[in-house]
Structure 1
Amino acid sequence: MQLSKPVFLLFFLVFARQHGVSAQGCVAIRHFSSCVGNNLENNILNTGDLQFGVNYRYFKSFRHFRGTEEEPDRVANGTEVINHSHAWDFFLTYGLSSRWYAAITLPTVINTRSSLYEHGRNERNTTFSRGLADIRLGVGYWIFDPASHLKGNLALGAGLKLPTGNYNATDIFYNVGPEGSPEVRPVDQSIQPGDGGFGITLDYQWYQQLSTSLFLYSGGFYLINPRETNEIRTFRETLSPILENEAIMSVPDQYSVRLGSSYSFSDRFSASLGGRFDAVPVKDLIGGSDGFRRPGNVLSIDPGIGYMFQGFSLNVNVPFAVRRERPQSVTDRETEINTGNPRNGDAAFADYVINLSVAYRLGNNKVRLDPALQDPFNNQ
């Protein structure tokens, strides 16, 4: 059946999703998504329109990489670190005009981390964190009027990340205190709900219609974290004297880019296929890069399906990792120079990530007066 272009456009936008490092999950890359809406269709709004919903993400990271080389012996001998990460982003997007939009994202997380090396190396134990993460606020602008540019458009956005999440969450670590006693310490950086820094986000969203049912899409964001460290101790220096430069947590930048295509089968069902690249860089754009971080990047194939009915939309994307890298960090390089021995830390990555989004749109149904009647009305 033939559908109108606006219907196809809106349906495509359901799939042109911009999860941030709602990333291919790993110990290196923490949960984050762009502050200016998570879905393109959230941001195609009329004046006064409101879209709200929730994005859920889950991953299990356990495969260790050093550089681009996997270390399969970690799983084979039971020494791998296992992170389970659950994140819920509750978002609200408001149409300031047909081209300007504003958004707020309230993220919450539940994380667990199972390891040997953090608990005396002789027995596996689990640490836990949960709660509010870092709230994001932002605005965006469509370069071209969406009403007259149905076949393609580009939106640019900017926002703030607030340090609302706990970046000093603690739990019990076993066999590490005096005479092997338990001790309360900050949990690993990878499962801290917050990072402790004010951040600036820059993002873009683009689409182009190729045929009646087929679209190209791209989106991405960069999180600038000017703060160098958050003063929270890692206790890594207790593992080895050469890790003294990793005693305090860094506050790293983060970024994500997506590119793909979407096809509408009907006015309700659609599918997408693309690629995505998610990363924590070795060095920040602004500010220093000292302190402990696990830089990492993941290239993923990103298939998705979706359903839309009236104001309701449901989307599922499951990115599968095809390349994972844990590059040499600033502290790795410092240690290598000081000791004369090669140094490149490892990180644990997931095989895939489950992303689920549910949203509902409320249109602005207020009756607007004919412009010719406004002055008489206002003068009564």
Structure 2
Amino acid sequence: MKKLIAIQIVSVMLLLAVTQQLCAQGCVAVRSNGAMCTRSHADTSADSHNWQLTTGYRYFHSFRHFVGTEEQKHRVAEGTDVRNWQHAVDFTLVRKLNNRMSIAVNMPIISNRRSSMYEHYGNSSTSPNARRETSSFGIGDIRITAYRWMLDPLKSRRGNIQVGLGLKLPTGDYRYNDFFWKNDSTKVLGPVDQSIQLGDGGTGISLELNGYYVFTKELSAYGNFYYLSNPREQNGVSTARGGTTTNANILYGSSVMSVPDQYMVRGGLNLMLGAFSASAGVRLEAIPSEDLIGGSSGFRRPGRIFGAEPGVAYQLKKVNLFATVPYWFSKNRTQSYADKMRTKATGIYTQGDAAFSDYSINIGCTVKF
């Protein structure tokens, strides 16, 4: 019985492992900051495996533009839509200190590609070469996190709550440059769009709450909350893409990139069938328009996505394989701080757009050693 409960909890928590990361959903720059916010199950017995390595792969393609909750379908029809592709691999190494405490280090490696017209020739161009691409590749922001189970695992076998406090380091290149084409013969070098920068340039503080409860031998529930606070207001990187910024952008504070907060909430149920398990849950990811600590000026595309998150996992002796496919049925590009300033100054309501993906694919494995 104890072994079965432990296996159930392992499956629930490892299903969370790769999907706990926050990932960019197109133009809304929700960055990857760690594939594992939940380390493993709360140990209910002696375990000689004090190290754990999780490798997770993520993919998405965004192209659907929204202003608020209204989709701008004409962008795809006209061919002026912005398209982002991301491939990312997260490596998370966990050291278990005892049955309640652990420390984790996460390093993402990210490959981004962005296709657009407006950043190059302009959306009104009739040139067949108007659609061009920019890209970025490298290490993202590294995160170090300490975790503690709040209840004694030896006494609370059916459920537990885990608290994590982390430090996000600005190791990802947030000044990544590529070429922007102005016509068939002229190109300029400048910082790529915020959504495909490898980092945000800020040192952040992350807070996590992770929990589970086992109802029966087959059925259990899970829940997670993650908030990344970035006290730095701006990172100084120009949004002009190698050109000259406009007076309006300077006036309303969007001439340089902001360093935004981000958060995630998720929860659901897990069904255990031998070594195989399946989960069904919901997931919310968001970039707020204003930060919890520090100022909020600078360019950002705030927004939130909400959707269903099915997943499967298979437990071997020391290896757990898992996959999830979050499907976003609600997309909302909210009003940014700069939008609010402009609305107040001009009396004309202003709200920018952003591109979102329909779904993302997450696969990975966890190995104990």
- What TM-score, normalized to structure 2? 0.91
Tell me whether 242-251 or 17-26 shows the greater mean CA deviation. Answer: 17-26
Kindly provide the CA deviation profile for residues 68-126 of structure 1, in whole angstroms up to 9, marking residues without a partner as x: 11111101110000000111111101111110000000111000110111002121100
> Within 5 Å, which residues of 2 pair with 1:86-125?
86-121=87-122, 122=125, 123-125=130-132
CA change 1:47–1:285 in 2 (3 A) is farther
Taking only aligned residues, the RMSD between alpha carbons, in angstroms, comes to 2.2
Match of 1:208 among 210, 213, 220: 213
- Counterpart CA distance in 2 for 1:200 and 1:356 is 27
- Counterpart CA distance in 2 for 1:107 and 1:67 is 30
Are 1:26 and 1:350, in contact at CA under 8 Å, matched by a contact in 2? yes
Tell me whether 47-56 or 319-328 shows the greater mean CA deviation. Answer: 47-56
Are 2:34 and 2:92, in contact at CA under 8 Å, matched by a contact in 1? no
Kindly provide the CA deviation profile for residues 50-76 of structure 1, in whole angstroms up to 9, marking residues without a partner as x: 100211111101000001111111011
Equivalent residue, structure 1, for 2:249: 243
Residues 1:294 and 2:301 aligned together: yes
Equivalent residue, structure 1, for 2:31: 31
Are 1:254 and 1:281, in contact at CA under 8 Å, matched by a contact in 2? yes
Equivalent residue, structure 2, for 1:127: 134
- Unpaired runs of 5+ residues, structure 2, are none
Task: Return the letter of the residue paired with 2:92.
Answer: F
Equivalent residue, structure 1, for 2:81: 80
- 1:201 positional shift: 0.4
Equivalent residue, structure 2, for 1:221: 226
- 1:253 positional shift: 0.3
Equivalent residue, structure 2, for 1:4: 4
- 1:327 positional shift: 0.6
- Counterpart CA distance in 2 for 1:38 and 1:358 is 15
Secondary structure of 1:246's counterpart equals coil
Kindly provide the CA deviation profile for residues 346-380 of structure 1, in whole angstroms up to 9, marking residues without a partner as x: 00000001011211011xxxxxxxxxxxxxxxxxx
- Counterpart CA distance in 1 for 2:117 and 2:2 is 59
- Counterpart CA distance in 2 for 1:220 and 1:261 is 16
Equivalent residue, structure 2, for 1:13: 13
Are 1:18 and 1:219, in contact at CA under 8 Å, matched by a contact in 2? no
- Counterpart CA distance in 2 for 1:54 and 1:228 is 32
Task: Return the letter of the residue paired with 1:30.
Answer: V
Are 1:106 and 1:132, in contact at CA under 8 Å, matched by a contact in 2? yes
> Within 5 Å, which residues of 2 pair with 1:320-335?
320-335=327-342
Secondary structure of 1:13's counterpart equals helix
Secondary structure of 2:40's counterpart equals helix
Equivalent residue, structure 1, for 2:286: 279
Residues 1:181 and 2:186 aligned together: yes
- What TM-score, normalized to structure 1? 0.89
Task: Return the letter of the residue paired with 1:260.
Answer: G
Task: Return the letter of the residue paired with 1:31.
Answer: R
Task: Return the letter of the residue paired with 1:11.
Answer: S
Kindly provide the CA deviation profile for residues 200-251 of structure 1, in whole angstroms up to 9, marking residues without a partner as x: 0000110001111100100121001000000010117957643333110000
Tell me whether 99-108 or 17-26 shows the greater mean CA deviation. Answer: 17-26
Secondary structure of 2:345's counterpart equals helix
- 1:340 positional shift: 2.5
Task: Return the letter of the residue paired with 1:300.
Answer: G
- Counterpart CA distance in 2 for 1:256 and 1:174 is 36
Secondary structure of 2:294's counterpart equals coil
- Unpaired runs of 5+ residues, structure 1, are 363-380
Are 2:33 and 2:108, in contact at CA under 8 Å, matched by a contact in 1? no
Task: Return the letter of the residue paired with 2:149.
Answer: W
- Counterpart CA distance in 1 for 2:245 and 2:167 is 36
Higher-Rg structure is 1
Percent identical residues: 39
Equivalent residue, structure 2, for 1:310: 317
Equivalent residue, structure 1, for 2:40: 41
- 1:2 positional shift: 11
Tell me whether 241-250 or 70-79 shows the greater mean CA deviation. Answer: 241-250
Secondary structure of 1:150's counterpart equals coil
Residues 1:257 and 2:265 aligned together: yes
Are 1:21 and 1:29, in contact at CA under 8 Å, matched by a contact in 2? no
Task: Return the letter of the residue paired with 2:95.
Answer: Y
- 1:336 positional shift: 1.7
